[in-house]
Amino acid sequence: MLVRYRYRLYPTPGQQQALARVFGCARVVFNDALRTRQQAHEAGLPHITDAELSARLTACKATPERAWLGDVSAVILQQALADLNAAYRNFFASCSGKRKGPTVAPPRFRSRKDRRQAIRFTANARFRVLPNGKLRLPKIGDVAVRWSRPLPSKPSSVTVIKDPAGRYFASFVVETEPGPLPQTEPLVGIDLGLAHFAVLSDGRKIASPQFLRRAEKKLRRRQRDLSRKQKGSCNRAKARVKAARAHARVADARRDFHHQLSTRLIRDNQAVAVEDLEVKGLARTRLAKSVHDAGWAAFVAMLEYKARLYGREFHRIGRFEPTSQVCSACGVKDGPKPLHVRAWQCQGCGAWLDRDLNAAINVARAAGLAVTACGAQVRPGPVLAQRSEAGTHPKSHREAA
């Protein structure tokens, strides 16, 4: 199983200049190849193959105009062409219907002002991790790495990334064997929401951290400072980095919360079931900011790949399953309810049901998991006794007297 391990890089000022040069060379190769294919398409010529683009790159490096491309590793330039070929394949597959999901746009030209810059080294580039912990990159040097955890195996490639906040990262692709965790009994259903980030079928409720909401005041101030700077000025560049760092802190906090919670759920439960939410549709409503702040899609993706990695069961329930309309105690369906109704009494059995907890239990049952409402806030309400019971009929009192 191929997984990515990401670490923070701390290049020196000289290495940052070398990385900027490499980013620019990869960008030029990508744009030249894209322009060549566009011109061939406009002229009615056949589609230029990948091999022909590679041969043109080799010939281009011998010309005086592009001789400086030889100052960087050739693997990086070939990987830039591979990125263009992958973008075209995805575009053609999306047009023909072979690729699922939203329609993929055709490749666009890269810019030095793009939010994210990235280059990729494969094993042919002969990058390696040194015994002193530094990462040796060809024609760049030995870059300091913050190792937060050891690599499980020898990496097959590494991608060097520069994010909008000016930070550098190394993303290693390694192959690891799934390591099943010890068998455990609990089976849990999860109902994702906004008031509570997650409500579990065993009665636990996990509060929503609301990282974006808590940082809105600072983000607003950073964005206001950025908008007041003159375009093209050095002060605007500094303000842009400050705003990007503020947003990066929010994203990092949310990602860390998702990782910790998903790891805990996978470790403590043998099977996990979640509902397949229509996040794109919800993001077009008045709750859009809260939906994006919650990050449900990223959290569910983490649950899925960690369950596969650690030998757990993962179930995704259809979004049209009426989990909020069916009583988890008796199974009676009493129809949809507005969002402000957080608890109601079942018309069949008289039990008082918590909306989110009831949905979590129904999610687990829809996945075929045997769950109980342990710790659930479900309590029976006052129900009229049946007339066949002793001492409840008025005639019984007269006869007893």
Residue 356 known to be catalytic:
yes
Catalytic residue among 32, 202, 293, 356: 356
**Main-chain phi, psi angles of 260, to 5 degrees:** -65, -45
Structure tokens at 303: 């649950």
**Main-chain phi, psi angles of 98, to 5 degrees:** -75, -25
Structure tokens at 252: 């990092």
Residue 65 known to be catalytic:
no
CA 176-180-181 angle, 5° bins: 125
Catalytic residue among 32, 83, 191, 202: 191
Find all residues with CB under 8 Å of 75, minimum gap 6, and list them.
121, 122, 124, 125, 138
> 280 exposed, middle or buried (CB, 10 Å; 0-12, 13-18, 19+)?
exposed
SS3 content of the chain, % helix, strand, coil (to 5): 45, 20, 40
Residue 268 known to be catalytic:
no
**Main-chain phi, psi angles of 342, to 5 degrees:** -100, -15
Distances (CA, A) of 344 to 193, 327, 382: 18, 10, 13
Find all residues with CB under 8 Å of 111, minimum gap 6, and list them.
27
Q: What is the DSSP letter of 271?
A: E
Distances (CA, A) of 6 to 149, 152, 159: 10, 13, 9
Catalytic residue among 83, 202, 275, 354: 275
Instruction: Report the catalytic residues.
Output: 191, 275, 356
